[in-house]
Amino acid sequence: MFPIERFNTTEKLSKAVASGAFIFVSGQVPDNASASAYDQTLEAMNKVGKYLEVAGGDRSSMLLAVLFVKDLENLEEINRAWGDWLPAGVAPARACVQATPASSQFALQVFAVGQKAFATETSTPD
């Protein structure tokens, strides 16, 4: 069994949990509910990226994202922000579900699974 690392843990949840190669990031919402859907998406994704990094990955190591979207009429803005945030060529598996986030004033909530970054080169002794 792999050790479990928890990050930013409260009584209810951890913002991220890592075990083995995997990183699980809890549902992230933006800070500014009055911002556009585009800006709210960037805020939520920046939080996802931050927790992936804290746990040993980065935005390019994201394997899965589930976006809980309050109003699908905002999907074009959300997709534009997603494309601006995500590096080219590393799109994870993704699902968008119409649902009201637990904090209902927000346009979306994002849950993600990532992978820890591992060194790909091996060094040889001199």
Output the domain CATH number for residue 83: 3.30.1330.40
Q: Is residue 93 part of a domain?
A: yes
| 125: pLDDT strictly greater than 70 | no
Rounded CA gap, 22 and 59, in Å?
Answer: 13
Q: Which residues form the domain of 91?
A: 4-115
Arithmetic mean of pLDDT, 73-99? 97
**Total structural domains in the chain?**
1
pLDDT of 122 reads 44
Tell me what the mean pLDDT of segment 108-116 comes to. 97
| Model confidence, pTM | 0.89
Q: Other C-beta atoms within 10 Å of 108: how many?
A: 27
Neighbours of 48 (CB within 10 A): 23
Strand ranges for the chain from DSSP E: 4-9, 14-19, 22-28, 62-69, 93-98, 108-115
Residue 72 is assigned to a structural domain of this protein: yes
* Inside any domain, residue 121: no
Q: What is the mean pLDDT of the chain?
A: 93
Question: Do the beta carbons of residue 106 and residue 76 sit within 8 Å?
Answer: no
In-domain check, residue 34? yes
Q: Take residue 58 and report the two structure tokens written for it.
A: 């980065």
